[in-house]
Amino acid sequence: MKKVISLLLVLLLVLTMVTGCGQSEKKLETSGEKTIETTPDVKTNKTDSKTAKDNSGDTELFGVPMKTEDYFIQDLSDPNNQYTLKCMTEKIFGMDGYIISGEEVKEGEYKEGTSFLVYAKDGKALTIEDITYLDETYLISLKEVEKGTPQSHEKLSIVTKKPFKDQTIKYEDGTMVRNINLLAEEVGIERIEGEFQRVEGDKIEIISMYSTLAKVYAMDGVTPESLEGLQKDDTIEYMRGLRNDTVYAIRKIEE
């Protein structure tokens, strides 16, 4: 009889232990589920993911996000972007304004991937105040600053990630930035070498590499700094309008 009672007690103890482990395991699973559903970190991560999608770039280099759903800004100090920088340098120098570089679907309408290549004046730099995409239009606000100002750049490449039909690029004071594409269509911009002769007021006299005679041009946007130290017959490079006898930029060619 004692053996039977002892056996029953052992069986009851074993049953109790098995039941207890099952309940503990169930509690752990339930607790784990609640933790997954309510942990603030997970919710924060979801928010961060959305933020990363909308605004995936930092602001260290440009003061505005480098990458968003609407655009990305190329870091021209990155060796991978040297081709872009070379293209910008080959097109023009010394002229402030912007060039639109990309595939035009039809007149005035551009595909995504089009770039705004923005140039500061000689001796100056630009900071980006804001970039907004609204109603198929890119709105870009810039500020002219001294070279060396934090987050400033002498050249900018802003690549669009959406098609657009119009753009407004202006300085923070409301002054419109010159559209060099349109200017080139109107006056025929040419980059050329020649010999400097003299400056008188807002006029400059140059002998073109294609001529032996001096010609007088009006100056538009030529900075005083770019004229400093020029001597008669110095070899120079300049940007001129073929149809309006205007010089937009000038620099001495160092021998």
What pLDDT shows up at residue 143? 97
What pLDDT shows up at residue 28? 24
What pLDDT shows up at residue 56? 56
Going by C-alpha positions, the residue among 99, 117, 125, 86 that lies closest to residue 223 is 125
Higher confidence at residue 23 or residue 207? Answer: 207
Name, of 16-25, 77-86, 89-98, 229-238, the range with top average pLDDT.
229-238
> Over pLDDT 90: what percentage of the chain?
62
The pLDDT tens digits for 89-135 are: 777 888 999 999 988 888 889 999 999 999 998 889 999 999 999 99
Q: Which residues contact 133 (CB under 8 A, 6 or more apart)?
A: 70, 71, 139, 160, 162, 164
- Residue 195's pLDDT band, with cuts at 50, 70 and 90, is very high
Global pTM value: 0.72
Per-chain mean pLDDT for the chain: 81
| Residues in a beta bridge with 197 | none
What pLDDT shows up at residue 61? 94
What pLDDT shows up at residue 57? 66
The pLDDT tens digits for 224-235 are: 889 999 999 999
Asked whether the predicted pLDDT for residue 156 surpasses 50, the reply is yes
Asked whether the predicted pLDDT for residue 185 surpasses 60, the reply is yes
Going by C-alpha positions, the residue among 134, 142, 152 that lies closest to residue 116 is 142
What pLDDT shows up at residue 49? 34
The pLDDT tens digits for 53-64 are: 445 568 999 999
State mean pLDDT over 41-51. 36
Going by C-alpha positions, the residue among 27, 68, 42 that lies closest to residue 158 is 68
Q: How far is CA 6 from the centre of its chain?
A: 83
State mean pLDDT over 157-165. 96
| Residues in a beta bridge with 143 | 127
Q: Which residues contact 217 (CB under 8 A, 6 or more apart)?
A: 203, 204, 205, 206, 240, 245, 246, 247
Mapping DSSP onto H, E and C, the string for 19-55 reads HHHHHHHHHHHHHHHHHHHHCHHHHHHHHHHHHHHHE
